[in-house]
Amino acid sequence: MKSNGPCHLSFSSPPSFSSSSAATDDQEVKANSALQIAMARLEEEFRNILLSQTSVFEPDSLFLEESSVSGEDSTDAPPEEEEEGSDSGSGSSRLTRRRSSYRSTSSIREMDLISPEAVSDLRSIVQRMVAAGYSRECIQVYGNVRKSAVDTILKQLGIVKISIGDVQKLEWEVVEGKIRKWIRAAKVCVRIVFSSEKRLCSDLFDEEAMGDTCFMETVKTSALRLFTFPEAISISRRSPEKLFKILDLHDAMGDMLPDIEAIFDSDDSSSRAVYLQASEIQTRLAEAARGILSEFENAVLREPSVVPSLEGLSIL
């Protein structure tokens, strides 16, 4: 039997990556690394401009501006852009009446939160970050910086964090004084501060949804804090001496509702929630006033020989 010769097995050599493929991968890694470095620098520049170019203003000037607005006849308001004030000193904000990207009312006044030159630079940075896919980082930086700025403004106006329970523990004489101050400060917050933040977002962000997101990131907490005080009054224990101040709050909320609706007008649920909260508070204040009047009427019917006093006024 003829034997077969030795069997030789041949193995193919392992596949090797082409030099062009390896070079492409290396280029992608370098490109991604360069992009991350560039975006980190843009992000830092974005933050620095927002911090350094924030306008400084005196709360008293805002109170004066809002007071002058409250006495205006909306039918006389000119439709075109018109300067309502001038710089009164270094660092002061210029209050302006402008056409806005949102549905505005005649009582809204806006101020330049950041200088127009800086706005142009910020807008350019936003466009580059969005084009590179860094929208989330852009929103986060903007929200953190501007939220802190709005918190500072509210504190200067006397709007501080206070719980519903803390408000209800206060003596009514103390609450009366706070109601007067709150009404003045709330009108400034809504008509000047919040409206100006909305305009700044419209100026910086081309995409409306992104601008709305940044706006709510900035003011949502402040808006909820602002309306904590009237909400506490609306659900507090009813008594005759509270009637007229409750009516003052009710009227103030009704006066501001068109402005709140115009500013918080996006389809975003958190934006609409601010308007709905304000509207519900006004409704509860009306119910509280009606309840006080009803209880007062019942007291008169129960004791016809006694003429009770309502806030110092005898009902004859």
Domains and CATH numbers, the chain: 59-306 (1.20.1280.170)
Q: What are phi and psi of 82, to 5 degrees?
A: -150, 130
Q: What tens digit of pLDDT does each residue of 99-113 get?
A: 344 445 678 888 899
Crossing angle of helices 135-156 and 195-204, rounded to 10°: 160
The predicted pLDDT at position 49 comes to: 96
C-alpha–C-alpha distance, residues 57 and 61, integer Å: 8
Confidence of residue 174 (pLDDT cuts 50, 70, 90): very high
Place of tokens 């009606």: 290
Distance CA 227, CA 149 (A): 19
End-to-end CA gap in the chain: 139
User: What average pLDDT does the segment 247-257 reach?
Assistant: 96
Cα torsion 147, 62, 195, 116 to 10°: value is -80
For the chain, what's the residue count? 316
Judged against a pLDDT cut of 60, whether residue 276 lies above it is answered with: yes
Q: How do the residues of the chain divide into helix, strand and coil, expressed in percent and rounded to 5?
A: 65, 5, 30
Mean pLDDT over the full length of the chain: 80
Cα–Cα nearest to 56, from 84, 78, 88, 28 = 88
Around Cβ 45, how many Cβ atoms within 10 Å?
13
User: pTM for the complete prediction?
Assistant: 0.76
What does the pLDDT read at residue 143? 94
